[in-house]
Amino acid sequence: MPGPYQVTIYTALPGTPLVDKQGRPDGTSAAGHMWYQISDGEIKNSYGFAPKEHVASSGPGKGYDTDSRAYQNPAYSRTMEVTPEQYARLKQYGEAAVKEDWRYFKGEYNGASNSCVDFTWGALKHAGFEIHRPQVAVHDGTVVTPEYRGPIESHFDGRLKPGHNKVDIQQITAPVPGSPLNSETTNPPPANRSLLQHLLSENDASPEQRQTAEQFKEALGERLGMLGLSDRQVSTLAAAAAKEHTRHVGQGDVQSFHLSKDGSTIAMRQTHAPLREFDVGTALGRSEQSHWNEAIAMDRSRTAEAPTTQNVPYAWSSAQDTSSPAIEAPVLSRT
């Protein structure tokens, strides 16, 4: 009879190197990832959840069984021996997702509310894992989190950023205390993280801001590179684009980015008019960090104020004219 049974829970930071099915370098993780792997002592199976469309922040999702092979040196992992019943439940949950059978987990991906993090915690709850929330005292001795032992809270689906789930994973109660299989592994952060990836690891850029930056790179990154801009300069412009979208978020989602023929101006087309533009030279005159700092500050300010629709600039109704006199489409070139 195979065994002992075990599960390993992984978190990977933005910038984690990826390889393809042939083991060849395949870029880096844009926003990080969380998944789990099970073993019956002989065969290992990994299960994760991500959008079907590579850069999408929302849309149809898919269960993947390739994450342990694809993600190289993830930042953190915890391995625990589990009972045969827990192993069977973890496999049941993961195999269903790979087959796009969503009886245990919602198959619609959303980076903020139904992501790889939610999927992994859902698997642990499905298998009946328990958690120990210790008492946490502030400087005056006041207990702010009462000690709690028992099943993982039904309301808890993890923290937004995969890397921030380490503290919660460490609070899971080992199903087989004292097992020699129980272990933790920590790797250094990826050495070549871009500033954007570092911000996504450590700071509070929203999923929408991340999506805008990645969407910008997908649309114009190659074209800007052909014009002689470095990867760092493209990342700076991506941060500026995320900032501009945050500034004009009332106009809706970004539909497309355009580059003027002389490469001096970038235009952003959203759900509602007008077309928004920013100057490439001016944007490159500031650091990527400063663009992100401003974008995050604007987003926090908007969240704190919680304005109604009437108070949001450019909160356009579907009945309004969406024609835009700001820039003529023929002047722009799409990649």
Rounded alpha-carbon distances, angstroms, from residue 149 to 131, 159, 228, 240, 241? 6, 19, 57, 46, 45
Distance of CA 222 to the CA centre of its chain: 23
Which domain-ending residue is among 151, 186, 221? 186
Q: List, in order, residues 6 or more apart from 58 with CB less than 8 Å away.
A: 51, 108, 109, 110, 111
Does 153 score more than 50 pLDDT? yes
| 226 and 124, same domain (yes or no) | no
Report pLDDT for 196.
57
Q: Are residues 68 and 179 in the same domain?
A: yes
pTM for the whole structure: 0.60
Residues 262 and 134 in one domain: no
Identity at 315, one-letter amino acid code: A
- Are residue 141 and residue 211 in the same domain, yes or no? no
In this prediction, residues 270-278 reach a mean pLDDT of: 95
Q: Which pairing describes strands 143-145 and 136-137: parallel, antiparallel, or unpaired?
A: antiparallel
Are residues 224 and 172 both part of a single domain?
Answer: no
| Domains in the chain, number | 2
Domain hosting residue 314, numbered range:
195-333
| The domain boundary residue, chosen from 186, 204, 234 | 186
- Whether the pLDDT of residue 130 is over 50: the answer is yes
Are 172 and 138 contained in the same domain?
yes
- As a whole number, mean pLDDT of residues 88-103 equals 98
Kindly report, residue by residue over 156-213, the tens digit of the pLDDT: 898 878 988 998 999 999 999 999 999 999 998 887 666 555 555 555 567 788 889 8
Closest CA to 286 of 244, 223, 225: 244
- Average pLDDT for the chain: 84
Of these ranges, 131-140, 171-180, 318-327, the one predicted with the greatest mean pLDDT is 171-180
Q: How many CA atoms lie within 13 A of 327 on its CB side?
A: 21
Q: Which residue has the tokens 């993780």?
A: 29
| Among candidate residues 163, 186, 209, the one where a domain is terminated | 186
Are both 160 and 223 inside the same structural domain? no
pLDDT digits (tens, 9 = 90+) for 80-92: 999 999 999 999 9
Both 62 and 84 in one domain: the answer is yes
pLDDT at 289: 76
* pLDDT over 50 at 116, yes or no: yes
Beta strands in 146-253 (DSSP E): 148-151, 183-186
Would you place residue 257 in the very low, low, confident or very high pLDDT band (cuts 50, 70, 90)?
very high
Contact 242, 291 (CB under 8 A): yes
Handedness of CA 323, 324, 325, 329 (dihedral sign): negative
Domain check: are 47 and 135 in the same one?
yes
What CA–CA distance (Å, rounded) separates 166 from 118? Answer: 14
pLDDT score, position 30: 79
Are 271 and 167 in the same domain?
Answer: no
Report CA torsion sign: 80, 81, 86, 89. positive
Q: Does 113 lie in the same domain as 226?
A: no
Q: Are residues 322 and 235 in the same domain?
A: yes
- Tell me the two tokens of residue 115: 């992501």
- Two tokens at 263? 């490469």
Q: Which amino acid is at 238?
A: A
| pLDDT for the residue numbered 333 | 32
